[in-house]
A = this chain, B = another copy of it.
Amino acid sequence: MSRLTLALDVMGGDFGPRIVIPAVATALNQHSMLSFLLYGDQAIAQPYLNNLTAEQQRRITFVHTPQQISPDLPLATALRQSKGSSMRMAIEAVAEGKADGCVSGGSTAVLMALAKRLIQPLPNIDRPALTSLIPTMNGKSSVMLDLGANVEADQHQLTQFAEMGNIFAEVMLKLVFPRMALLNIGTEDNKGSQTVRDTHQALKMRNDLNYLGFIEGDKLMNHLADVIVCDGLSGNIALKTLEGAVKNVLSFFKTQEGDLCRLAKRYLLRLIFYRYYRKLKQINPDRHNGATLLGLLSVVVKSHSGAGSNAFYYAIEYALSQIENQIPQKISQGLGRFGDLA
A337 on the B face (CB < 8 A): no
Within 8 A of B (CB), among A222-242: 222, 232-234, 236-242
Chain A interface residue count, CB cutoff 8 Å, equals 57
A188 on the B face (CB < 8 A): yes
Would you give the 0/1 interface string for A142-178, flagging 1 where the beta carbon is closer than 8 Å to chain B? 0000001001100000000000000000000000000
A137 on the B face (CB < 8 A): yes
A246, B233: Cα distance in complex, Å? 22
A193/B152 in contact, CB under 8 A: yes
A279 on the B face (CB < 8 A): yes
A237/B183 in contact, CB under 8 A: yes
A83 on the B face (CB < 8 A): no
Within 8 A of B (CB), among A181-219: 183, 185-186, 188-193, 216-219
A75 on the B face (CB < 8 A): yes
A330 on the B face (CB < 8 A): no
A221 on the B face (CB < 8 A): yes
A148/B190 in contact, CB under 8 A: no
A74 on the B face (CB < 8 A): yes
B279/A268 in contact, CB under 8 A: no
Contacts of A183 in B (CB 8 A): 237
A251/B185 in contact, CB under 8 A: no
Q: What is the CB-to-nearest-CB distance from A117 to chain B, in angstroms, rounded to a whole number? A: 18
11 A-B residue pairs with Cβ-Cβ distance under 8 Å, sorted by A, are: A71-B188, A75-B190, A151-B185, A192-B233, A193-B233, A217-B244, A218-B243, A221-B248, A245-B246, A246-B249, A252-B280
